[in-house]
Amino acid sequence: MKKFSQNEIDKFIELLDFSKIEGGVVPMIAQDYKTNEVLMLAFANEEAVRQSLETGIACYYSRSRKKLWKKGEESGHIQEIQNIFIDCYRDTILLKVKQKVAACHTGFYSCFHREFVEGKLITRGKPVFNPDDVYKK
Amino acid sequence: MKKFSQNEIDKFIELLDFSKIEGGVVPMIAQDYKTNEVLMLAFANEEAVRQSLETGIACYYSRSRKKLWKKGEESGHIQEIQNIFIDCYRDTILLKVKQKVAACHTGFYSCFHREFVEGKLITRGKPVFNPDDVYKK
């Protein structure tokens, strides 16, 4: 798990361009640090990026709920940050993470578990957990 | 290279939620189909998605230039689509692609070639081409 100092976090924030998407957020991709499987994409505002780098655990910003989204807070399915990359325009973050249990709330390891084939969505892989057991109604 | 019929493309467009980001776009991630390396993230509007599925070659929408961005049109560094995935919220596309030469305009294979380590950006890997040779001034 990778944590950063306040000084390092300030430098990282300065590098990023939050101006491209309404609400001052950047897309943040989480990728399995071993297999390179893409797990999910969500958005992060400055506070979410700070939180992620301070704690070493991925934190996003929920644009619909308008608040920080500490991924795994309820389920325990946290993402421990191993490496942080940014793209050439400094407006997108790529996290290599150690994913606990699964990234997707539907029970699959990756949120990208459905492939579009011949006009239909085909589910790839099998669910890792039962959402009814993990998320209380 | 994967191409789709008009009927299939219409079905795919219906599945997608373009309402989340200003301008009616979805994030589209390109990933190397063999190594799973993440190459880039850009945005696609309905027209860009249609173009991608019709031709089998990734086409994005440039939000800054407000027009379709047929990636590789000038450089020849096209992305041949091998597989198309969508995420659980149907608001993000993941393309597995066969990348010609390199994805990044700076000459690196991936746009995510810089890692944030101890307060600094460290370049990972070596450039594949010289941008001055490829992009005419």
Structure confidence by residue, pLDDT tens digits, A38-96: 999 999 999 999 999 999 999 999 999 999 999 999 999 999 999 999 999 999 999 99
Confidence (pLDDT) at B137: 58
**Cα of A40 vs its chain's centroid, Å:** 6
In chain B, residues 61-80 whose CB comes closer than 8 Å to chain A: 63
Q: Is the CB of B116 less than 8 angstroms away from the CB of A86? A: yes
Interface contact A127, partner B, CB < 8 A: no
Whether residue A11 is predicted with pLDDT greater than 90 in this model: the reply is yes
Read off the DSSP letter of residue A21.
Answer: B
Q: What is the 3-state secondary structure (H, E, C) of B45-89?
A: CHHHHHHHHHHCECEEEECCCCEEEECCCCCCCCEEEEEEEECCC
Helix axes B6-15, B46-55, angle to 10 degrees: 140
CB contact under 8 A, A41 and B21: no
pTM beyond 0.95: the answer is yes
Percent of chain A residues past pLDDT 70, beyond the cut: 99
- Whether chain A has a CB inside 8 Å of the CB on B105: the answer is yes
Distance CA(B78)–CA(B57), nearest Å, equals: 7
Is the CB of residue A53 less than 8 Å from the CB of residue A84?
yes
Per-residue pLDDT of chain B (137 residues; tens, 9 = 90+): 789 999 999 999 999 999 999 999 999 999 999 999 999 999 999 999 999 999 999 999 999 999 999 999 999 999 999 999 999 999 999 999 999 999 999 999 999 999 999 999 999 989 999 999 988 75
Best mutation target, A116, A118, A123, to test chain B (most B CBs within 10 A): A116
**Number of other CB atoms surrounding residue A114 within 10 Å:** 23
- Establish whether this prediction's ipTM goes over 0.85: yes
Contact state of B15 with A84 under an 8 Å Cβ cutoff: no
Identity of the amino acid at A122: I
**Between chain A and chain B, how many beta carbons pairs sit less than 8 Å apart?**
109
Do residue A36 and residue B40 have CB atoms under 8 angstroms apart?
no
- B115 vs A: CB within 8 A: yes
